[in-house]
Structure 1
C-alpha cells in the first residue's frame, strides 16, 4: 500500500457497500420472479423499480461526493467507473423484470433460473468484496470467481438462445424472450466490469 501524507475521504467505502447491498436486494427480487403469478410479478416489478431508484440515489451520492472531495481514496476515474458499473447492474436487473411484466410473460424458458442463480451469487460476492476496498486485502478470489461466473453465464446464455430458436416458440415469443435473456446476460457482464475495475484499483494501490 502506498504511503500517503494527506488524509483521504473515506465515506466512499460506505457508499460503495450500500450500492452493492442494494444489488443483493435486486437479485432477491429476481429470484422471487421465478414462478410468480401475474399479479405477483407486477408487485415485484414495483419493488424492483424502487430498488433501482435507490441505486440511482446511491450513484448520485457517490458522484456528488467525488465532485466535492479534494482528496479521494483512489483515482477519480476509477471511482466514477466503479459507481457507474454498479449502477448498470441494477439497471439491467430492473429492465429484465420490467420486460417480463410488459410482455406479460407467464412462464420463463428453462435456463433463465440458472441465469438468475448466477446473478444472485455474483451479487453476494460483490457485496462481500466492497468492504475490502478499505484495505485492498482478500480481493483476488473475488474477481477470479466473478470471472468464472461470467463465463458460466455466457454458456447458459448460449444454451438459452439455442433453446429459443429450436422451433418450439413462435417468432414473436422468441423476440420477447430473447430480449429478456439478453438483458440478464448484460447484467452478468456488468458484474465482471465491476470486478475488473476493483482489480485495476487494487493493482494501482499495491
Structure 2
C-alpha cells in the first residue's frame, strides 16, 4: 500500500463536514414524518440513499486514513469520529425503515413525543455540521458540545414521556412493540450525536 506522507491538510476535515451534511439531510427527511400527507415509502427510500452516501464517505475516509502516515490529529480519534458520525445516520435510517415496514403510516398520527425527538435530531445535526466546519481551527467548540448535551437531555425527557404514553393503554400491544422499537432508534440517534460531541471535546482537549 502506498503511503501519503504529506496529506492534503483539509482532507479529513472535508470528510467530517460531508458526513455531517448527510446527517442534516437525513434529519430533514425525518422531519417530513410530521406532514399530514407524508410519503413514508419515499422517506424510507431517501434515508437509505443518504445512509449509502454516508457509508461511502466513511469508506473513503478509512481508505485515506489507512494510506496516510501523518494525520492532523490522533488516528484513533479520526477513526472514532468518522465511525460515530456514521452511527448517527444508521439510527436515523432505521427510524424511517421501521415506520414504513411496520405499517405505522396507517396510524392517524405518530405520537407527539416522536416528533419532539426528531426536532432534537434536527437541532443536533445542525450543531454538528457547524462544529465540523470549526474543527480544523479548534475554536469556539465548547458551546457545541454543551448544546448537544442539553439537546440529548431534552431527548431523554421526550423519550421517557413517550414510554409513558405507549404504556398508557392508548395503543394495542403489537403497535406498542413497533412504536417502542422506533422510539429506541430515535433515542439511540440522539445518544450517538452526544458521542460525536464527546469525541470532539476529547480531540479539542488533546490539541489545546
TM-score under structure 1 normalisation?
A: 0.94
Match of residue 43 from structure 2: 44
Contact kept in structure 2, 1:9 and 1:73, CA below 8 Å: no
Residue 99 (structure 1) aligned with residue 98 (structure 2): yes
Q: How many angstroms apart in 2 are the aligned matches of 1:120 and 1:131?
A: 17
Match of residue 80 from structure 2: 81
- Extract unaligned runs of 5+ from structure 2: none
Q: How many angstroms apart in 2 are the aligned matches of 1:62 and 1:85?
A: 13
Q: Equivalences for 1:112-127 in 2 at 5 Å?
A: 112-127=114-129
Q: Equivalences for 1:41-80 in 2 at 5 Å?
A: 41-80=40-79
Q: Following TM superposition, by how much is the alpha carbon of 1:8 offset from its aligned partner in structure 2, in angstroms?
A: 5.7
Match of residue 25 from structure 1: 25
Q: Following TM superposition, by how much is the alpha carbon of 1:7 offset from its aligned partner in structure 2, in angstroms?
A: 5.7
Residues 88 and 63 of structure 1, relative CA distance in 2, 3 Å threshold = same
Residue 15 (structure 1) aligned with residue 15 (structure 2): yes
Match of residue 192 from structure 2: 190
Q: Following TM superposition, by how much is the alpha carbon of 1:36 offset from its aligned partner in structure 2, in angstroms?
A: 4.9
Q: How many angstroms apart in 1 are the aligned matches of 2:7 and 2:121?
A: 33
Match of residue 167 from structure 1: 169
Q: How many angstroms apart in 2 are the aligned matches of 1:129 and 1:55?
A: 18
Contact kept in structure 2, 1:9 and 1:71, CA below 8 Å: no
SS of alignment partner, residue 134 of structure 1 = coil
TM-score under structure 2 normalisation?
A: 0.93
Q: Following TM superposition, by how much is the alpha carbon of 1:33 offset from its aligned partner in structure 2, in angstroms?
A: 1.9
2:137 counterpart (125, 132, 135): 135
- The CA deviation string for residues 100-120 of structure 1, in whole angstroms up to 9 with x for no partner, is 000111221121111000100
Contact kept in structure 2, 1:96 and 1:184, CA below 8 Å: yes
- Extract unaligned runs of 5+ from structure 1: 1-5
